Amino acid sequence: MQVSTKGIVLTSLKYGDTSLIAKIFTASDGLKSYMLKGILTSKRGKLRTSYFQPLTQLELVAIHRNKGMLESIREAKVYNHYQTLHTNIAKNAMTIFLAEMLGNSIHEEEQNMELFNFLEASFQWLDIKEDIGNFHLYFLLALSKYLGFYPDTNQMDASSFDLLEGEFTNTPSLNPMLTGENLNHLKLFLGINFDAIHTIKMRKANRQQLLQSLILYFELHLQGFRKPKSLAILNEVFN
């Protein structure tokens, strides 16, 4: 079936000498994987390698057979041209990290327009803003809402946050817990929007610790989740 849809590129991997396999989160059908035959050597085709950089926002004409196999793309064009996301060093490192997080977190081949709209708006915001040091922390927390494990904000005055249960608590536990400064920073991120993230002041060490806890939070709540390899690059750039 031929489908016209928007899509956000998550990953693209080289296949053989001339082709790519791209994972794209589509507005019409959720996550789809596409075989892009010969794209690395084609100079006149309708598909360009540059279209398939992480988080690029595309309009696609694709063939979806929906049989669990690789799909194909007939046409693609960029509908939101980023100004800084792939050229600014800090933003590019964050882009690669978040694309990997999304690739490890999203598996459903079904329409989810709320999630698509969130991703679309988030990356357009990231592209045009300058103070983005806390973006990935807020983004991951907000993403957990769409994936079904957003923190329970009842009892936010409690002394710890249970990462396994996803709730604030005063009850001692052997589960991984957030306490102290990291707990306080988590609370600050809950209930704000993107435009307020620059108001949260954190030391680099605290930012890295909270990020490690959020990655663990995803690992505890998503079956088969893999820690992102790009985390080391992100930490190096922001150091």
Domain harbouring 230, CATH code: 1.20.1440.120
Asked if 87 and 77 sit in the same domain, the reply is no
Asked if 73 and 97 sit in the same domain, the reply is no
Identify whether the C-beta of residue 57 lies closer than 8 Å to the C-beta of residue 119.
no
Of the chain, the percentage scoring pLDDT greater than 70 comes to 99
pTM metric for this prediction: 0.94
Asked if 64 and 171 sit in the same domain, the reply is no
Identify whether the C-beta of residue 184 lies closer than 8 Å to the C-beta of residue 206.
no
Asked if 36 and 126 sit in the same domain, the reply is no
Q: Smallest Cα–Cα separation from 217: which of 118, 128, 147, 127? A: 147
Asked if 111 and 175 sit in the same domain, the reply is yes
**Nearest-5° angle of CA 21, CA 25, CA 30?**
115
Cα separation, 139 vs 150, in Å, equals 12
Task: Express each pLDDT in 74-111 by its tens digit.
Answer: 999 999 999 999 999 999 999 999 999 999 999 999 99
Q: Which helix (H) or strand (E) holds 169?
A: strand 167-169
Asked if 193 and 118 sit in the same domain, the reply is yes
Residue 161 neighbours by CB under 8 Å, 6+ apart: 151, 167, 168, 169, 177, 178, 179, 183, 186
Q: Smallest Cα–Cα separation from 79: which of 170, 9, 3? A: 9
Identify whether the C-beta of residue 9 lies closer than 8 Å to the C-beta of residue 53.
yes
Identify whether the C-beta of residue 57 lies closer than 8 Å to the C-beta of residue 120.
yes
Is 43's pLDDT higher than 80?
no
Comparing 5-14, 35-44, 165-174, 202-211, the range with the smallest average pLDDT is 35-44
Identify whether the C-beta of residue 121 lies closer than 8 Å to the C-beta of residue 113.
no
pLDDT band at 235 (very low <50, low <70, confident <90, very high): confident
Asked if 133 and 90 sit in the same domain, the reply is yes
Asked if 50 and 95 sit in the same domain, the reply is no
Domain membership of residue 98 as a residue range: 83-239
The domain boundary residue, chosen from 15, 49, 81: 81
Cα separation, 143 vs 62, in Å, equals 27
Identify whether the C-beta of residue 134 lies closer than 8 Å to the C-beta of residue 198.
yes
The domain boundary residue, chosen from 81, 101, 135: 81
Comparing 35-44, 55-64, 75-84, 226-235, the range with the smallest average pLDDT is 35-44
Q: For residue 90, count other CB atoms closer than 10 A to its CB.
A: 15
Asked if 125 and 204 sit in the same domain, the reply is yes
**Which CATH number do you get for residue 18?**
2.40.50.140
Q: Which residues pair with 24 in a beta bridge?
A: 9, 32
Split into its structural domains, the chain has a count of 2
The domain boundary residue, chosen from 50, 81, 112: 81
Q: Smallest Cα–Cα separation from 222: which of 144, 139, 114, 142? A: 144
Asked if 74 and 92 sit in the same domain, the reply is no
Asked if 125 and 205 sit in the same domain, the reply is yes
Asked if 167 and 56 sit in the same domain, the reply is no
CB crowding 60-86: b at 16 or more within 10 Å, else e: bebebeeeeeebebeebeeeeebeebb
Q: Smallest Cα–Cα separation from 97: which of 31, 15, 10? A: 10
